[in-house]
Amino acid sequence: MKSWKWMQALALSLLVVMLVTACGKSGESVEGSAVTITFLNSKGEIQSQLEEAAKAFKEDNPDITMEIIPVPAGQSPFEKASALYASGNPATITMLDTGDVEKFKDRVLDLSGEKWMADAVDRSTALTTFEGKNYAFPLAIEGYGFIYNKAVVDQAIGGTFDPATINTTGALEELFKKIEASGKAPLIVSPMDWSLGAHYLPLAYAGQSADTAAVAQFVDDLKAGKVDLAGNTVFNGLLDTFDLMAKYNIDKASPLSGTYERGPEVLGKGEVGIWFQGNWAWPQISSFDTASGQYGFLPVPVSNNADDFGNTQISSAVSKRLVLDKEKNTAEQQAAAKKFLEWMVYSDKGQDFLVNKANIIPAFKNITLEAKDPLAKSISDYIAKGKSQDSMSTLPADHWAKVGASMQKYLAGAADRSVLTKEIQEYWKSVK
């Protein structure tokens, strides 16, 4: 009997030990110099291109394997990244939206000393620099506005279309009418909350002034509840344009039933002339392209005075940033990640990936490759001519969802302009 008791005690202690060790982190021994890093990708449309880039990078650096983890559709990069941090398993490289970088600054590497800092375009790291230290790699400049299908608009106006002629709301309506008269639908409004809430409506904030400090002041005033949006000319001008869009929308009968995937299809096939979206949509448009790659951007006009700010400027900014984790990744992994960043900026294969494969507008002066993608090229042209407006990239994190829902309600006709204005003002007051 005595031995039986010993057996019990032994089995019990064994179980406890097993359970406790199972919870401990199993030591990650890195054999030789081979290192595996992970990349959290929040730009779903370049997932396969990134996987190819990881292969190309491995050819140049056989020791480094990079795994690309996608952020699931519908989840924000912040949600996924913070979940990974909470589980103690952050990616080596995390792709964040500009406004999120600050939240992670205690957990990510200071990149101020990196070689590419000298080649980054002006102001591209300003929003991720805190107390003089830059924490993020500017990955992509993105811009948005009305994308036009040149074949459709050329046919509608009966000649060669000059995008510079569309510089007022009135001119835009003329164009819509001409497209309609040519037997096509003028435009498609994709009703996603992120498109309306993060891209369309913020034009009203960015369009307040050409001076970025004045725009920042405007946002602060909104938070303080000091702005009367109902009497704001830019805001009303933008919504007047939105009313036009809703009026000429191909999906007017059921404006909220559209999906993102429908936009590139109808634009590429030439069923509509115009789509409100950004240059990231090129891969999808190109798979339906019937206009032999002839597309370009029109700014969203906010008034009938061609000289007003915003009527000839395209909205653009560095939208995606890469940060490197310093908490859970080893020094070797961090070094490998830094190498990848440099590889993108300075190697031929890396530049080819950015510009040609992923259709990204790089934020580095040393990259002189000309974009093959007409949308990126159009944005680059506007920027080169100085016709650009800084997109709002540090709005509160839930702005797109909350204001996007209000915009959807307005688009569907379930709320009028006064309700929309009130909801937006209420939203800003609730921001902490």
Partner 1 sequence: MITEKGLWNRLRLRLLFTGPTLFAFLAVMIVPFLYGIYLTFTNWDGISTASSLVGFQNYVSVFQDTVFWQSFLLTLKYVFITVVLINVVAFLLAYALTSGLKGQSLFRAGFFIPNLVGGIVLGFVWQFIFSNVFVYLGKEMSIPLFSASWLADPDKAFWAMIIVTVWQYAGYMMVIYVAGLMNVPKDILEAASIDGASLPTKMRKMVLPLMVPSFIVCIFLSLQRGFMVYDLNISLTKGGPFKSTEMVSMHVYEKAFLSRDYGVGQAEAFVLFLLVAIITIAQVYFSKKMEVEA
Contact residues toward partner 1 (CB under 8 A) are 8-9, 11-12, 15-16, 19, 23, 74, 76, 78-79, 81-83, 85-86, 103-104, 106-107, 193, 253-257, 259, 397-398, 401, 405-406, 408-409, 412, 414, 432
Task: For residues 317 and 381, give the distance between their C-alpha atoms in angstroms, rounded to a whole number.
Answer: 14
- Least distance from C-beta 398 to partner 1, angstroms? 4
How crowded is residue 138: how many other Cβ atoms within 10 Å of its Cβ?
25
Q: How far apart are CA 227 and CA 339, in angstroms?
A: 47
Residues 6+ apart with CB under 8 A from 359: 46, 279, 280, 282, 283, 371, 372, 373, 375, 376
Looking at the Cβ atoms of 262 and 339, the one nearer to partner 1 is 262
Of the two residues 302 and 407, which places its CB atom closer to partner 1 in the complex?
A: 407
Task: Rank residues 80 and 178 by Cβ distance to partner 1 and give the closer one.
Answer: 80
Q: What type of residue is 237?
A: G
Strands 64-70 and 129-130: unpaired
Shortest Å distance, C-beta 72 to partner 1:
9
Fill in the DSSP letter of residue 26.
P
CA 275 to CA 313: how far, in whole Å? 17
Q: Which lies closer to partner 1 via its Cβ, residue 233 or residue 257?
A: 257
Instruction: Provide, rounded to whole angstroms, the least separation between the CB of residue 420 and partner 1.
Output: 11
Give the Cβ contact number of residue 208 at 10 Å.
Answer: 22
CB of 375 to partner 1, least distance (A): 27
C-alpha separations of 361 from 134, 173, 316, 320, 341 in Å: 20, 30, 10, 11, 15
Q: Decide whether 79 or 174 has the Cβ nearer to partner 1.
A: 79
Question: Cβ 424 to partner 1, closest distance in Å?
Answer: 13
Least distance to partner 1 from the beta carbon of 102, Å? 10
Q: Which helix (H) or strand (E) holds 424?
A: helix 417-430
CB of 246: closest distance to partner 1 in angstroms? 14
Minimum distance between the CB of residue 421 and partner 1, rounded to whole angstroms?
16
Q: Minimum distance from CB of 191 to partner 1 (Å)?
A: 8
In the complex with partner 1, which residue's Cβ is closer, 76 or 155?
Answer: 76
What sign does the dihedral 304-308-309-313 (CA atoms) show? positive
Residue of 392, 388, 423 lying closest to 219 (CA atoms): 392
Residue type for position 402: K
Choose between 23 and 213: whose C-beta lies nearer to partner 1. 23
Q: Would you say 292 or 418 has its CB closer to partner 1? A: 418
Considering the complex, state which of residue 85 and residue 288 has its C-beta at the smaller distance from partner 1: 85
CB of 393 to partner 1, least distance (A): 16
CB 168 within 8 A of CB 233: no
Token output for 421: 């204005």
Comparing CB distances to partner 1, the nearer of 175 and 185 is 185
Q: What are phi and psi of 319, to 5 degrees?
A: -105, -30
Instruction: Using the minimum distance from each CB to partner 1, give the nearer residue, 16 or 164.
Output: 16
Q: At which residue do the structure tokens 């190309």 appear? A: 56
Neighbours of 16 (CB within 10 A): 10
Q: DSSP string spanning 380-419?
A: HHHHHTT-EEE---S--TTHHHHHHHHHHHHHTTSS-HHH
- To partner 1, the closest distance from the beta carbon of 19 in angstroms equals 5
CA–CA dist 363, 359 (Å, integer): 13
What DSSP character marks residue 45? G
Q: Identify which of 248, 226, 199 has the alpha carbon closest to the alpha carbon of residue 389.
A: 199
